Amino acid sequence: MLRFIFRNLGRHPLRTGLTVAGIVVAVLAFAILRTVVDTWYAGAEATSARRLITRNAVSLTFPLPISYLGRIRRIRGVETVSYANWFAGVYLNEKNFFPQFAVEAKGYLDLYPEFIVPPEQLKDFLHDRKGALAGERVAAQYGWKIGDVIPLRGTIYPGQWSF
């Protein structure tokens, strides 16, 4: 039986090649789509089901009115409220993009218990208005060490900012 299959595969090489190519394309398309779907849902699955993020319907660059903070805090079932503002600074040049948010430090970190910061570093961050937290990957990518001064050129908030 196997001999019969291989003999017929060689009878029409173009048909065999196109069939193999079709199977390869189908498998690759499935793998790519599964990767995209899994990546899409990975962020949502990693977050807390107890956390709700509310933002302006237009864009991250337009904050909600600060008066909403008190109104949201008074809603039954709300435990903690904080705010963040998209900063959109540029580090050295436009190629060095990473997300930056100006946050109300204590409340913001209470909402994200998965952000683990050593107690001494947390204390320093909370007491320094120019303090900043960076993830391990971003810090490693740019060669930052604890205590470094990071200059950002503001795009939404013009000027040179040091953190």
* Identity of the residue numbered 4: F
- Can you give the residue ranges of every domain in the chain? 2-46, 68-162
Which bin fits 153, alpha (ψ -120 to 50), beta or left (φ > 0)? beta
Q: How far apart are CA 47 and CA 37, in angstroms?
A: 17
Q: How far apart are CA 33 and CA 131, in angstroms?
A: 41
* Identity of the residue numbered 127: H
Q: How far apart are CA 53 and CA 103, in angstroms?
A: 14
Q: Give pTM, 2 decimals.
A: 0.61
3-state helix, strand, coil in the chain (%, to 5): 45, 10, 45
* Phi/psi of residue 143, nearest 5 degrees: 75, 25
pLDDT digits over 29-86, tens only? Answer: 999 999 998 887 776 666 667 778 888 888 877 888 989 989 999 999 998 898 888 8
Q: Contact 84/56 with Cβ under 8 angstroms?
A: no
Q: How far apart are CA 97 and CA 95, in angstroms?
A: 6
- Tell which residue, 80, 87, 119, 124, has the closest CA to residue 103: 87
pLDDT digits over 74-94, tens only? Answer: 999 998 898 888 888 889 888
66 Cβ neighbours under 8 A, 6+ residues apart: 83
- Residue 106 pLDDT grade (very low, low, confident, very high; cuts 50, 70, 90): confident
Q: Which residue has the higher pLDDT, 10 or 124?
A: 124
Q: How far apart are CA 28 and CA 24, in angstroms?
A: 6
pLDDT of residue 56: 83
pLDDT of residue 139: 92
* Identity of the residue numbered 94: E
